[in-house]
Amino acid sequence: MQYDPIKDRLAESIKSFPALRRYFYQALDLLLLRQRYVKAAIKHHFSDGMRFYDAGAGFCQYSDFVLKNYPNSRVLATDLKTDYLRQYSFAVGPHFSFKSADLQVFRPRHRYNMAIAIDILEHIEDDVSVLKNIHSALVPQGILIISTPSDTDPAAKFTAEHVRPGYDKSELEAKLLASGFEILCSKYSYGFFGALSWRLMIKYPLTLWGKSKLWAPVLALWYLLLLPASQLLMKMDMLITNPSGTGIIIVASRK
């Protein structure tokens, strides 16, 4: 499946109607479990006035979260495609900057207290170079937060933009250690409850939408009825220790 065309259509809608951005971010928070894991980790390790590096920022939802909650911080967002980043820059002040960058070779000029790499490593062939470049961009004891599919995620195997079908958690931990990081927390996300929520909120609706836009009224009713249950499922996923899962969340520190 190709997700980039869907993202491009969303970006065009936001460009035409900038007020939609806030509602779009709110929808991502409601539908995507990984956002809850990542934001919880940011809250735990980040403080106002620090520097934040959003590597592979996409729609900049995490940059926005930091700028809204830590207004004295400075944020650098990078991505190969800068159209999303440029759109977002029009809505914020001077504490946000962006750059088109290939993370396999790019090293920021400044040092950062925190970096995030959310669902990007599975898209990049030379992931070790990315980790080493992010390591060099962090201050000592700086924090890196990673979210990526595990190799048990069937969807990752059929996502056209992926260069690998998810990670073995031990393999990714070993690459981080070899790149100079210390692992602070490593766990599976999207266990039984989270994966069920993903199917209900993402997989099945997108499948129906892809078949025909005439499913729109049914999908509206679908979300109305199942959204409360999905929120409970995501909370349960975060409360328990998943023995396995289709996602991996790692928090690491630069030695």
Per-residue pLDDT reduced to its tens digit, 236-253 = 999 999 999 999 999 999
Q: Which residue has the tokens 């809505």?
A: 91
Q: What is the pTM of this model?
A: 0.92
Q: Which residue has the tokens 């735990």?
A: 44
Q: Average pLDDT, whole number, for the chain?
A: 92
Per-residue pLDDT reduced to its tens digit, 171-204 = 999 999 999 999 999 999 999 999 999 999 999 9
CATH of the domain at 208: 3.40.50.150
71-104 as b/e: b if 16+ CB within 10 A: eebbbbbbbeebebbebbbeeeeebbbbeebebe
Instruction: Name 120's Cβ contacts closer than 8 Å, sequence gap at least 6.
Output: 55, 56, 103, 130, 148
67: closest CA among 59, 76, 58? Answer: 76
The pLDDT of residue 165: 83
Per-residue pLDDT reduced to its tens digit, 132-170 = 999 999 999 999 999 999 998 776 554 556 688 889 999
Rounded average pLDDT over 207-225? 90
**From the CB of residue 219, how many other CB atoms can be counted at a distance below 10 Å?**
15
The pLDDT of residue 158: 47
Q: How many domains does the chain have?
A: 1
Per-residue pLDDT reduced to its tens digit, 79-137 = 998 888 999 998 898 999 999 999 999 999 999 999 999 999 999 999 999 999 999 99
Q: Which residue has the tokens 């031990």?
A: 170
Residue range of the domain that includes 225: 4-254
The pLDDT of residue 81: 85
Who wins on pLDDT, 210 or 166? Answer: 166
